[in-house]
Structure 1
């Protein structure tokens, strides 16, 4: 069975994977959806087979974040294909079976339990000095075990710290790319606004021209029939100007549509930038947590090593005292 804290973290990862799958479906990212389904399946299998390697599951959960982001941009990304292959291998039945544990039903020779039992027998015989030495040896063995565990925790913390640093570097690369996308989008929007302003000026010019022609036609209508030929010419000019006005309005409408598209692209780029910055913050927070855990583990290791050294010196001193005492007793018999 998993520890309570580990089970809670698994539930959180499962819920996040389900939420990301729903979001990917709404945005039409099928590859991202498939990655979320694999992550959910991995959570389920880890809950069913807790002995298959919870730490390896955490590594795959961290890598899932990068693969999910990459899948929305490049479905053939190395991060995507590598993560998918690793998870599919983990989901195979043979890889989820926990390795058989060695038989530890009884204490081995020199184990703390065996030393303590021997010390109890020495007390029963009245050999208090020997019992004290054996008890201290048992404590020393326990100290060695704790020191080994502390070293393992230090190595694990260092590994997590390296992984956090690599994740921060990847997130910073995403931020840089998002900033470049925002700059390109801003330049396109500025160019679109300039083109739209020019098209509006053309529209105003043609509108003024049409208004002038209309006034000219009104004046010609009031003149005598001798000016009918001039009126016909002006009507022809009016038709041409009207056609140009319609063309200008069509161009303005297209410019508006293009500007809206550029503005939407800019908004999307800004959203990606904010997401990338948030990832940097999250990875920095994780790195700080890893550094704190590493510091605590190193302090624990230092304390255990100091305790072990003190105990070993005490055991050695007691052994020497007992040897000298036995030699003196033998001499007195003769």
Structure 2
């Protein structure tokens, strides 16, 4: 039995979700969170008295419910409202690729903790980083427990076996010298590629944040970039933290962006809201074409490690810390929700109290 409130990512509306004995129904409240909290309190009282109407809800039979059917319901009716778009895509891919081929027709209540553990161990043995898969499995079963379809979550407690720091094995960094080699080559080959990579290496912005960057978010007076939104899979969204963050710019980055800005202003269709990196139609550039057609080819040509574009972000943080930037400053620049995340990923570097190290990256 449970009553919870959730905010729908796309509309911004708050909903009250009520689950009881395998049944679930929802009530749309609107944009006022306080009103949703009051409504949730009222429904808890009604639920205790058996006065909640489930006629417009959905009841799933515990005995005949398969893992595949429950996953479909979870993805469409729960995850889409709780998760950011990229996370939803990730969950769907994990379920389709790793779980449905094995458990699609299995009764949901027949899957044991040992089976979940065995599956994760088998996937891990093939070289897959399984922590995200474990989190996804746990989220699916947690929803089943919430609806009282299951008594216990068979994925609960497996984090002790598949620890979060497993992902560190796949985190790669470029040295300052390697970054210079890559940027110099990009500058010679194509100014567009050079500027994109320079912004990435000097700000640590995520790929989706780079694609969504517009000129109204670049403030040359305050010497900062405001990260307000993200773009991925043809979908606009808020940044990962759901909050706007401000990133300081180095002298070299400001000079490069100013030159680009002056050229952009000469275009007939220029607006302050125009994207910094756009295709001929003014839309975000195709990140797959850049990744496979440009970035990976440049790394191979220069005999540099084949890092992911996201590893540019890790490189930025590591170079700041190697230059003795305070770790709290790096946390703010990266937009981490907790200092623990920063320390966990980059704690091997020793920080000091010197914010001026940004210019040493140029």
Question: Same fold judged by TM-score > 0.5?
Answer: no
TM value normalised by structure 2: 0.21
Structure number with greater CO (CA < 8 Å, separation at least 6) is 1
With normalisation by structure 1, the TM-score equals: 0.23
More strand by share: 2
Q: Which has the larger radius of gyration?
A: 1
Larger helix fraction of residues: 1
